[in-house]
Chains A and B, each alone.
Chain A
Amino acid sequence: MSENYKIAVIGSGPSGMSAGGRAAERGVSHVVLERSDHLSDTIYKYQKGKHVMATPEVLPLRSSMTFGAAKRETVLETWNKEAQGHKVNVRFNAQVTGITGAKGRFDILINNKETITAESIVMAIGLQGNLRKLEIEGADWDRVQYQLDDPEEYEDERIVVVGAGDAGIENAIALAKQNRVVIINRQGEFARVKDANKALIEAAIEKGEIECFYSATPARLTPGALVLDVPQGQATVQCDRIIARLGAIPPRAFVERAGIVFPSKSQEALPELSPQYESNVPGLYVIGALGGYPLIKQAMNQGYEVIEFILGNNIKPADEPLLERKFGALLQRYTVDQVIDLFREKVPLLSGLTALQLREFLIDGTVHLKAPGEIVFERNDYTTSLYMIVEGNVNVHVDPNDFSVVRSLKAGQFFGELGMIAGRRRTASITAADQCLLIESPARTMIKLINSVESVRRAVNDEGMARQIRAYLSHEIKEADLAGLIKGADRRSFKAETVFFNEGDESDGVYLITQGSITVSRNVAGKNIVLAYVPAGHYVGEMGVVGNAPRDATIRAAIDSKAIFIPKPAFLDLIEKLPSLRRRMEEEWLRRLAHKAKMTARPEAGSIIQFLIEQGAGEATDMLLIDESLCIRCNNCEIACAETHGGTSRLDREAGPTVANVHVPTSCRHCEDPHCMTECPPDAIHRSPNGEVFIDSTCIGCGNCERNCPYGVIHMAEKEPAKPGLLSWMLFGMGSGPGQDKARKKDKKDGSEGPKLAVKCDMCKDQKSGPACVASCPTGAAFRVSPEAFFSGHLTR
């Protein structure tokens, strides 16, 4: 007679264990089947001491187990204790090898020999799957391992790390501190890894701390020597130990054998689930990473909820109170579920999402109820979110000079994608035309959605192109003409430094720059002279097209850029129909001619543009520059920065290059698409509506932003103790004075070191007097400008 349970949970990770805990708490007969000999294998295999995060912060935890951001060891210990405390029935070393039967009686085959039965099954096996093993001759050597618990366990060994993914890189770097490490990369470069890891490994290889074999694959192994196939033939690497990080075989095949259907063949496809996490096989539930919810907190909540659902208790999801708070006044008319249905029904962009996906999407978003005439955002705001209209209409104020010129958008449409994509200031103001209901989604969430849902990507792209053409060329273009333009137009991407077209090329069309920025240069007396800098939101190449002449300048991407290309016939056709556009083009043309003459006569101005582009001006929104002909090197800017920011200066005046009296100190450029933001685990880096990029108090000190910043303007610093007042220092010599940071350590009572957090320039966004560095410069040498303003104003003044 085999064992029989009401619920069998497969996997003891955060979701499975939480399900087991809830089942135990509710006194339901249950079993948790775990393949390994310990709980939560994925987290168990994290590197020793790794900080486990508890995101999203806003989401409440609802589980019989507790969890909070902590070290790996603490998290595991808590779960082990609690699992014992709740008397969770866990069977270790029990790998499920087959599932048959149906709701009410599933037969579960364990380790291919024993069968147990359960009325319902909760599949919580995660995505880790089975680790891929080295499949070469001699791979059974006892010093081949597939995980690394504690890098400090090894010392003075020659260790070969096979696999150049994130796990392999992290292991290699940790091991290199006290071992000689060789990393084997199957490819010619480090692709498909986190930017921060790429930077770390490349720096370590450059410095000779780690040796790397590129385009190499292991061929065979004898104890102490690994033979590699390399492009030149074969190479032998002596080694004391091999750590192979080759990824895992996804568990999809196993899941499919149980009868669960995936909607597509794509690797990223997720099984379709009901709001109660039930799969297409009744009685078979899927939770956690396998169901598309990789975050620990979400997974634990689902573990709790799935048990309640199986017991027939239709509880509200844990995010319900969050959504209730978001929906606010809407709940007078609808329930949360009805609101979600309404959104799906009214907004085409969201109709392809499942209820679960939409809930998750909405947790990051904001729901706005706007009264007629109320402003949604204003031209030149520095916000990057996207809005969707659920009910009502909004007015787009397209003309910067005349607020009454409006274009109307109705329910189901979206707006704000120009700012979201270009990362630049809003190009129009938006007001509510009548009572309207809007969903605002932060750029980060929206971009994730665009990348993962094809229908969303296409919708944003097509509609976006129409809007961009109108915004950058003319708002007077008629709907019918627009369709023709879009048909002929295409989107083109350019890597930094690549050429759009060369001086003398045939003029085949016009480029609207949608992202990034470009330089215009000309060959004058054998020298390449930069004439102008043009940021996203402008067009180039129209002169040759309208004038029917070859290109008279070279256009080069200053940074990675994107543009819409409109072919010559379509463009000529358009200006034929729109005399106002033609006049504006002529006007712009004449202005550029005058500018060109000025710049040609002043080649040094062109070399300053070139120099600043090299210093990141192409992606900067605001740079701190110093006019060295006025700078008395008093360092008051740095001292002011430190004094207004907890004792640590965010700028280094002296460092950084100089050309013709223009000095670029090491200080934040507030990039359009900030590199620092890309891999911030707690999402602590933001851009304020005025454009300042700043780090909020949720920084965990991981250092990713410091590594990702190409300009070296972020560093990790400890908070300094407060100083005595200025007069008590001046008159009585108490404590340390402005800028005397070294002495300040003494002010601290125990001299201990606190945690280090990332600090960067926030442009003194909370200071009335504006950036302290500029306000405190006695001679006016320090100034902050946007590259556009600098190139068109300061430089030629």
Chain B
Amino acid sequence: MQESVLVYRNFLYLKVSAAAAGASLFAYVWHTPLGQPNGGTWLGYTLGVVSLGIVIWLAWYGIRKRRYGVGRARLEDWLSAHVYLGLALVVIATLHAGFQVGWNVHTLAYVLMLLVIASGAFGIYTYVRIPGLITANRAGLTLEQIMALIAELHEDCRKVAVTLGDEINELVQRSAEESHIGGNVWQQLSGRDPLCPTAEALVRVRAIARDLPQAQSENGRKLVLLLARQSELLGQARRDVRFKALIDVWLFVHVPMTLALLAALAAHVVSVFFYW
């Protein structure tokens, strides 16, 4: 229906970025510097200034995104350009460095930049992949509705369990009190809880229900059904949390590394003046 950031405006920003990277590559091949290619030649300085400009512009996205109702361009324009110019930077900045690396602040800045771009690339992947998965997983419900359903089922389970003896009651009680969604980063990202008390209750209740007296077997079946439904919903909710975590998690690398990159770049720019 709508165009994604990647195909936006018929790949306008891909074309612009590819042209910038292509022009840099052409200049690099055409240019014959004195000695080894490096950041200190006129082309090196030019590519350096361009790269610096792009980095600062890319970092400005974090602010632009939070300024509402300003400018005529859509945020989608900004993001589309952000993505493609960021990728082009790999080429331009590498050419600026003339493939020289070393244990210094310059290479630190370069490596930080690559980390930022790599995390961003993962971000693109999640933006393309995850949204459809979220919709499919939710099956028309919101997370809030799923949670409300789970709470309702807890209540129903309790009511049924009262008729079925202590052991089952305890299992149901524990499933209601200790089943949780989310948690720390790893729990969120895994989207599963191998020790989920509800899943455990389901297994145990199934085993017990086989041997229930005739009078209780009806309620036993009812409880198994309720627990199974609850377990499904818990899985759905955990997967939802997982997807949201995936969409956000790379930002915890992307943003701090951007700040580190800006600091390293400041050091890099100041220090190169000492070569003069």
| Bound pair (A, B) | yes
Give the interface of A toward B (CB within 8 A): 627-634, 636, 639-640, 643-644, 654-655, 657-658, 661-663, 726-727, 730, 737-738, 764, 767-769, 772, 774-781, 783, 794-795, 797
Picked from A657, A727, A779, the residue with its CB within 8 Å of the CB of B76 is A779
B4 at the A interface (CB under 8 A)? yes
Q: List 21 A-B pairs, Cβ < 8 Å.
A: A631-B131, A632-B127, A632-B130, A632-B247, A633-B134, A636-B75, A640-B68, A644-B69, A654-B142, A663-B135, A730-B66, A738-B66, A764-B69, A768-B72, A772-B69, A776-B65, A778-B65, A779-B4, A779-B79, A781-B2, A795-B1
Residues of chain B within 8 A of A644, CB atoms compared? 68-69
Q: Within 8 Å CB of B70, what residues of A?
A: 769
B2 and A657 contacting across the interface, CB-CB below 8 Å: no
Q: A627-B1, A640-B68, A661-B135 are in contact. Are A654 and B75 (CB under 8 A)?
A: no
**A780 partner residues in chain B, CB cutoff 8 A:** 2-5, 8, 74, 76
Nearest neighbor of B247 in chain A, beta-carbon distance? A632
Contact indicator per residue, chain B 53-91, by CB within 8 Å of chain A (1) or not (0): 000000000010111111111111011000000000000
Task: Return chain A residues, CB-CB under 8 Å to B247.
Answer: 632-634
Query: If A654-B144, A778-B5 touch, does A628 touch B63 (CB 8 Å cutoff)?
Result: no
Once A778-B76, A779-B79 are accepted as A-B contacts, the answer to whether A797 and B1 lie under 8 Å apart by CB is: yes
Enumerate B107-162 residues with CB–CB distance to A below 8 Å.
Answer: 126-127, 130-132, 134-135, 138, 140, 142-144
Contact A776 B132 (CB under 8 A): no
Supposing A630-B4, A769-B70, A779-B76 touch, asked if A636 and B63 sit within 8 A by C-beta, the answer is no
Min Cβ gap B10→A in Å is 13
Of A628, A738, A764, the residue contacting B132 (CB under 8 A) is A628
* Residues A661 and B1 in contact in the complex (CB < 8 Å), given A632-B131, A726-B67: yes
Do the beta carbons of B66 and A726 come within 8 Å of each other?
yes
Please give the distance in Å from A462's CB to the nearest CB on chain B: 45
Partner of B69, one of A629, A632, A658, A769: A769
Interface residues of B in 252-266 (CB under 8 A from A): none
User: Which residues from B are CB-within-8-Å of A655?
Assistant: 142
Q: How far is the CB of A8 from chain B (nearest CB, A)?
A: 63
Nearest chain A CB to B5 CB, angstrom units? 5
| B interface residues, Cβ below 8 angstroms from A | 1-5, 8, 63, 65-76, 78-79, 126-127, 130-132, 134-135, 138, 140, 142-144, 244, 247
User: Min CB distance, A474 to chain B, in Å?
Assistant: 35
Residue contact A661 to B132, C-beta cutoff 8 Å: yes
* A737-B71 in contact given A780-B5, A781-B2 (Cβ < 8 Å): no
Return the contact of A772 from the options B68, B76, B143, B144 (Cβ within 8 A): B68
Question: CA–CA, A663 to B126, complex, Å?
Answer: 20
**Whole-angstrom distance between the Cβ of B169 and the nearest chain A Cβ:** 32
Total A-B pairs, Cβ < 8 A:
104
B80 to chain A, nearest CB (A): 8
Given contacts A632-B126, A639-B68, A644-B69, 15 further A-B contacts (CB under 8 A): A628-B135, A629-B1, A630-B2, A631-B131, A640-B68, A654-B143, A657-B140, A661-B135, A768-B72, A769-B72, A769-B74, A775-B75, A777-B75, A778-B78, A781-B2
CB contacts (< 8 Å) of A769 on chain B: these are 69-74
Q: Kindly provide the distance from the CB of B203 to the nearest chain A CB, expressed in whole angstroms.
A: 33
> Chain A's nearest CB lies how many Å from the CB of B240?
10
In the complex formed, the residue of B with least CB distance to A775 is B74
Least Cβ distance of B259 to chain A in Å?
A: 11
Given A658, A768, A779, which contacts B135 in the complex, CB threshold below 8 Å?
A: A658
B143 nearest in chain A by CB position:
A654
Compute how far the CA of A400 lies from the CA of B143 in the bound complex, rounded to whole angstroms. Answer: 49
Cβ contact of A767, chosen from B69, B73, B126, B138, cutoff 8 A? B69
CB-based nearest B residue for A768? B72
> In chain A, what residue has the closest Cβ to B61?
A778
**Across the interface, which residues of A come within 8 angstroms of B131, CB to CB?**
628-633, 779, 781
Docked Cα-Cα span, A772 to B67, in Å, equals 10
A663 and B134 alpha carbons, distance in the complex (Å): 12
Given known pairs A633-B247, A775-B74, A781-B131, the reply for A658 and B1 (CB within 8 Å) is no
Give the Cβ gap from A427 to chain B, nearest Cβ, in Å: 29
- Residues on B with beta carbons closer than 8 Å to the beta carbon of A778: 5, 65, 75-76, 78-79
Q: Which residues of the partner chain B approach A636 to less than 8 Å between Cβ atoms?
A: 65, 75
Distance in Å: Cβ of A92 to nearest Cβ of chain B: 59
With A and B bound together, what is the CA distance between A737 and B65 in angstroms? 12
Contacts of B130 in A (CB 8 A): 632
Chain B residues, Cβ within 8 Å of A640: 68-69
Of chain B, the residue at the smallest CB distance from A644 is B69
The chain B residue with its CB closest to the CB of A781 is B2
Rounded to whole Å, the gap between the CB of B225 and the closest CB of chain A is 27
With CB as the reference atom, state the residue of chain A lying closest to B130: A632
Q: Does B135 contact A737, Cβ atoms closer than 8 Å? A: no
Q: Which residues of A have CB within 8 Å of B74?
A: 769, 774-775, 777, 780
From known contacts A627-B1, A630-B2, infer whether A779 and B68 are also in contact, taking CB-CB under 8 Å.
Answer: no
Q: Cβ of A632: which chain B residues have Cβ within 8 Å of it? A: 126-127, 130-131, 247
List residues of chain B with CB within 8 A of the CB of A662: 1
- Which residues of A have CB within 8 Å of B78? 778
Per the bound structure, the CA–CA distance linking A4 and B2 in Å amounts to: 83
Q: How far is the CA of A737 from the CA of B67 in the complex (A)?
A: 11
Q: In this complex, what residue of A is CB-closest to B67?
A: A726
Please name all residues of chain B whose beta carbon is closer than 8 Å to the beta carbon of A794 when the two chains form the complex. Answer: 1-2
Measured CB to CB, the closest approach of chain A to B4, in angstroms, equals: 6
List residues of chain B with CB within 8 A of the CB of A797: 1
With both chains docked as a complex, state the minimum distance between the C-beta of B43 and any C-beta of chain A, in angstroms.
35
Please measure, in the bound complex, the distance between the C-alpha atom of A304 and the C-alpha atom of B251, giving whole angstroms.
72
Q: How far is the CA of A566 from the CA of B189 in the complex (A)?
A: 64
Partner of A629, one of B5, B68, B132: B132
With a cutoff of 8 Å between Cβ atoms, the chain A residues found around residue B73 in the complex are 769
Q: How far is the CA of A655 from the CA of B140 in the complex (A)?
A: 10
Residues of B within 8 A of A629 (CB): 1, 131-132, 135
Across the interface, A738 reaches (CB within 8 A) one of B8, B68, B134, B143, namely B68
